[in-house]
Amino acid sequence: MNAHIKGCTAFVTGANQGIGKGFVEVLLDRGVAKVYAAARRPDTLAPLVALDPRRIVPVALDVTDAAQRGAAAQRAQDVDLLINNAGIGGSEDPAERRFLAAGSLADARVVMETDFWAQIEMCRGFAPRLCARAEAGITPAIINILSVGALFCVVEYSSYSAAKVALAYATIGLRAELEPAGVRVHGVYTGSVDTRISARNPHAKTSPVEHAHEVLDAVERGEDDIYPALGAKEILAAVRADPVGFQRERIRRFRDNPMR
């Protein structure tokens, strides 16, 4: 069975801007019954909630905060679609994103905590409710927003790539655990989307709204792994064709211009 968007109740992390906000807007367009829009600064959700106060429920949630995660899962008992979207790329200082050049591993640890451990904790927190929804005859789903940076190491953002590839493999492990209970688990290897995180990316970008449609279409088709937004399918093909050569080229570019 594949998940269906119309009529479902969704929960989106990092919903106040970028890809998360795009998901909330598109979920409303596609007829969800309700969407919990979560953000670590709930005041930033006001313009979004104003779009449809009847169906959008604002939630205060820093995904790295265990107490807030627990409260969110407790409050949103009726969720059948969890979108783990919140994420960070790492320090603004390129040196702090390096494993050796960094003054310490503090930034890398924050990236791992946010982009990996917090995402697993969200899945753990919501899994019992999602399984209960499956028992009620609905096909619930988790969508983990990964990145094409999980297909190869983006050496300028090594800690980000390390966290995303860890989450990609964890997504497969979660799929194996949750599928027998009737819960679908999707991994999304997003390409270039026009948001704050991609501000320095010089390539053409997909809008957050178009990205959300691409992902939700693929979820409704039942695709486990999804490659939305500009560049994603091309990078997948290039990595598959020559994984060693593709990665070598990225290391060469980094060596030629290490402070990007």
- Contacts to ligand NAP from residues 135-164, by CB under 6 A: 145, 147
How distant is the alpha carbon of residue 225 from its chain centre? Answer: 13
Q: Which of 5, 8, 11, 16 binds ligand NAP (CB under 6 A)?
A: 16
From the CB of 90, what's the least distance to ligand NAP, in Å?
10
Residues 6+ apart with CB under 8 A from 254: 155, 156, 260
CA distance 23 to 37: 10
Nearer to ligand NAP, 68 or 247 (CB): 68
Please give the size of the binding site for ligand NAP, defined by CB under 6 A. Answer: 28
Nearest Cα residue to 80 out of 182, 217, 206, 213: 182
One character per residue 67-106, x = contact with ligand NAP (rule: CB under 6 A): ------------------xxxx------------------
Taking a C-beta distance cutoff of 8 angstroms, is the pair 155, 99 a contact? no
The least distance separating ligand NAP from the CB of residue 200, rounded to whole angstroms, comes to 10
CB of 201 to ligand NAP, least distance (A): 6
Residue with smaller CB distance to ligand NAP, 100 or 199: 199
Residue located via tokens 């990078």: 235
Q: Are 11 and 80 in contact (CB under 8 A)?
A: no
Cβ atoms of 130 and 140 closer than 8 Å: yes
Nearer to ligand NAP, 6 or 109 (CB): 109
Within 186-215, the residues that bind ligand NAP by CB under 6 A are 190, 192-193, 195-198
Rule CB under 6 A: say whether 247 interacts with ligand NAP.
no
> Site map for ligand NAP, 105-124, x if CB under 6 A?
---------x----------
Q: Which stretch binds ligand NAP (CB under 6 A): 8-16, 27-35, 48-56, 239-247?
A: 8-16
Instruction: Enumerate the H helices of 11-157 as residue ranges.
Output: 18-29, 46-49, 66-75, 106-112, 118-135
165, 111 contact by CB (below 8 A): no
- Tell me how far CA of residue 110 lies from CA of 38, 98, 143, 205, in angstroms: 20, 13, 22, 27
Give me the residues that bind ligand NAP (CB under 6 A), please: 13-14, 16-20, 39-41, 61-64, 85-88, 114, 145, 147, 190, 192-193, 195-198
